[in-house]
Structure 1
Amino acid sequence: MPPTTSDHGRGLLLTAIGELALSMDIPLVRLGDGDIWSILGMRSAATVLATLAMLGAMRLASGKWPILVPGRAGLLAGLLYGLSSLTFVLSVFNTATANVVFIVAFNPMFGALLSWLFLKEKPSVATLIAMVFMISGVGLIVSDGLSSGHIFGDAMALLSALILAAAITVGRASRREMGFVPLLAAILPAALGLALALPSGLAIAHPGWILFNGAIVMPVAFWCLATGPRYLSAPEVGMFYLLETVLAPIWVWLIFNETPTAMALVGGGILVATIGLHSLWMARRKSIFSTGLD
């Protein structure tokens, strides 16, 4: 049954809120001003505790527990989400913010490749062409990382995009409810971060930013992004992914005066333009196809 107009509007609002919240993740991590393991542990632990509080409230309100981790597919997706959180934070600490968000924007194309390989969903010619342009954009950013000494951080951002795409592909293949999986998966990076940080003590200059990020911003972002896209087409979701890609470097520039390199801007511009044009083309194709059926 297709979504109604009100459902579509709800999907647009939730997805926009989710991406807007997610765009604040890197600036809040930077504002915390601490070592990587302390921030990873506190941020992830705050997400887990907020999720447990949310689940408790839902249990009291409805009298039953929602689906938490649906079987082995949920466990595998949770492991992948946890690993992607680790690699993402590693990338934030080892390369420029613009590099991180531009490279992570390659996630939808990794998703298309994995769906092709494992779900036998052959991408369209337009998607294949878009992949070529996006690979060239990522290549420019990574080559710049080689010359500037940021290659490890760029590699972690690329690995984060791949692992996240794999988690989403597992969820799509299982066709099970995965809304709480990425939130509960924060247990893994929380345990690792705290295990490495606690022996010498947490080292975070401004822990309030990290607690706010982990307990409020990330749960809101993940819940909205898990719920909103149910009512939207793939092209519309792709367009919303541009919000984080564009806004995160702007927040960091405004707060920290960190200006992206020329090569990062060129590569990022290619990525943003490609995602935008591809999404518009897919939306137009869907509109023409729907009109043809009517």
Structure 2
Amino acid sequence: MTSQSRGLLLAFAGVLIITPDTLLVRLMHLDTWPLLFYRGMGMAAGVAVYTLMRGRQNLIQRIRALGLIGVATAVCFSTANMLFVNSLMRTSVANTLAIISTAPIWAAFFSALVLRERLPLRTWAAVVLTAGCIIVIVGGGLGGSGSSPTGDIIALFQAVFMAAGFVLIRSQPDVEMVPCMILGGSITAIVSFLNAGSLAVAMPDVVPLVLLVLVVLPGSFLCLLNAPRFIPAPEVNMILLLEMVLGPLLVWTAVGETVPIATFIGGTGLFAVLLGHSYLGMRAYGKKRIVPIRVGEASVSSGK
């Protein structure tokens, strides 16, 4: 199998595995904080097992080696995780997935502001068009048609914190950042534990929770973390856009949650913008090799 084929297989597998995430959240009747506790524990344990399997035995030292930037990155990813679930609890799946998919665009924008990186014209255009599409999506929630401006704004903050995490990683390219996922998951679990009150899980919720924590989150993480090792990050981003389509479709099929008209219009525009930006980025990658953002052994493209 060629490197290209391996990268494509990993990216598509990661998208297919992560797609049921939002449906499983919808199917469960857990409150927000207990759900976040188990998500955080699952992420921390999954990444720890992955790290040990790669022969990295001394986890404590590797976590300590993250430094303040690594801790800040973990806080950003932990916050993004908590905002993701809170957004799902308040607005439609389609709105949440559409808005959080813009994280790579904001990361590029913040890199220009914070790291003084020079951005191509296509990225500046994508930033402006993305902002317009989000205004359409959030504005549609004002009519109360299956979405909520509050949930939409929370999703936007999720994308911002995820983007901030990407920028922090890029600022320290020589530091192995995989352990920050362990720290981030642990932070989520601790904060959630302190706010949950009860962590009891009803019997009907056990199976979807186990699938989410032990299969969906760690499985998608392993695939999406390693995919950029074999194919360009813009190509991974382009494949990840499938979740924006497949996630709402799966939830609509299972529980009948429809897509608000404003989300359909804004989401379609957003999909086109992100697809075009990733395609142009992939072409630019082919002309001149770009140094990817390294996170230990893998590059970061996007994610929750």
The normalised TM-score by structure 1 is 0.87
Query: Which residue, out of 94, 100, 104, partners 2:100?
Result: 104
Report what 2:2 is aligned to: 6
Q: Does the Cα contact within 8 Å between 2:34 and 2:198 map onto a contact in 1?
A: no
| Cα 1:64–1:38 shift into 2, 3 Å | closer
1:150-161 to 2 correspondence within 5 Å?
150-161=148-159
1:64 maps to 2:57: yes
1:185 maps to 2:180: no
1:43 maps to 2:39: yes
Runs of 5+ in structure 2 lacking a partner?
Answer: 290-304
Runs of 5+ in structure 1 lacking a partner?
Answer: none
1:214-293 to 2 correspondence within 5 Å?
214-287=213-286
Deviation at residue 38 of structure 1 after TM alignment:
1.6
SS in 1 for 2:234: helix
> 1:184, 1:217 → 2: CA distance?
19
| Alpha-carbon RMSD | 2.2
Deviation at residue 113 of structure 1 after TM alignment:
0.8
The normalised TM-score by structure 2 is 0.85
Deviation at residue 208 of structure 1 after TM alignment:
2.1
More moved, 181-190 vs 114-123: 181-190
1:44-193 to 2 correspondence within 5 Å?
44-58=40-54, 62=55, 64-65=57-58, 67-68=62-63, 70-148=66-144, 150-175=148-173, 176-193=175-192
Report what 2:16 is aligned to: 20
> 2:82, 2:216 → 1: CA distance?
17
Higher helix fraction (1 or 2): 1
Q: Does the Cα contact within 8 Å between 2:37 and 2:189 map onto a contact in 1?
A: yes
Q: Deviations over 1:179-228 (max 9, x none)?
A: 2422441112212222222x345354412212221122111222222222
Query: Which residue, out of 26, 32, 38, partners 1:30?
Result: 26
More moved, 241-250 vs 99-108: 241-250
SS in 2 for 1:64: coil
Deviation at residue 74 of structure 1 after TM alignment:
1.5
> 2:93, 2:254 → 1: CA distance?
12
Q: Does the Cα contact within 8 Å between 1:43 and 1:215 map onto a contact in 2?
A: no
Aligned letter for 1:245? M
Q: Deviations over 1:57-85 (max 9, x none)?
A: 55xxx473364462222111111111111
> 2:201, 2:235 → 1: CA distance?
41
> 1:161, 1:272 → 2: CA distance?
15
